[in-house]
Homo-oligomer: A and B are copies of this chain.
């Protein structure tokens, strides 16, 4: 799966994922006012996502769907989530389900079946290309996902060093042996992904590394050349293109940068154009910004 993502990034010349963190609050006013119940929310959110994906076609390789925003609207919201994933695939986007799932063995297996594999009645529910997962429970909470990556040609991004300020509280603690927690976790991620390295030298088991954390990103990159990074935190959270450079290899590969609010809320700063056009312009501006990083 990582090979397909890398090829799609090359094709679009843009290592960006559009973060469809779509919720009522982020919609243009006239759309938000149409929402009276969860059913309306699901319909309007899918319409919004569809128009964004149409406008961004050919410009970005991937969309990342943060499921928390959809869960707010109960099962109707999850219907919009599922429909968005399906539509994304018809448009050729690589799909990243950002759900940070985690549990022990058989339950981790159920999550994996839901997002990457097929259920116990033989039908796939979300069928995303990638899923984000949380490693607090250790190997037996991660290996069921790795198995489905192998069986179904999928990938995962494991939380290693997150973009938020208080990620230091646990992730930057120094262990007795001198390693920091995020370094330990990156070593586990490398081990979990060792059987899934593709033709470009990267594994389908990648890491989530906050774009705001350039020091830690540099260290993880130095430790693990074969680890592909998903980088949240650009834009609204304050990371700039300069902060991202350490995460990429000398060919400009090795990572994908997510931007959610900077794209889907661009209409709030551009009220004279349709929201999807504002999103398209924000994507083009971001693409230029990332290209300057590479030069």
Contacts and interface: CB of A to CB of B under 8 A. Distances in A.
Interface of A: 21, 23-25, 35-38, 41, 66, 68-69, 71-79, 81-82, 100-105, 107-108, 110-111, 113-115, 119-121, 123, 125-126, 134-141, 159, 162-171, 173-176, 181, 184-185, 188
Contacts of A181: 170, 173, 181
A50 B105 CA distance: 27
A82 to B, nearest CB: 5
Given A72-B125, A100-B103, A176-B176, 6 more contacts: A100-B102, A104-B162, A105-B164, A136-B162, A137-B162, A170-B181
A107 B232 CA distance: 12
A267 to B, nearest CB: 17
Contacts of A69: 107, 110
A146 B246 CA distance: 35
A139 B166 contact: yes
B170 A125 contact: no
A164 B141 contact: yes
- In order of increasing CB-CB distance, the 10 nearest A-B pairs are A138-B166, A138-B169, A74-B125, A68-B110, A71-B114, A104-B164, A75-B78, A72-B119, A75-B79, A139-B166
A71 B126 CA distance: 9
A66 B184 contact: no
A171 to B, nearest CB: 7
Given A68-B103, A103-B68, A77 B136 contact: no
A171 B136 contact: yes
Nearest to A185: B170
Nearest to A23: B120
A155 to B, nearest CB: 19
Contacts of A162: 104, 136-137, 141
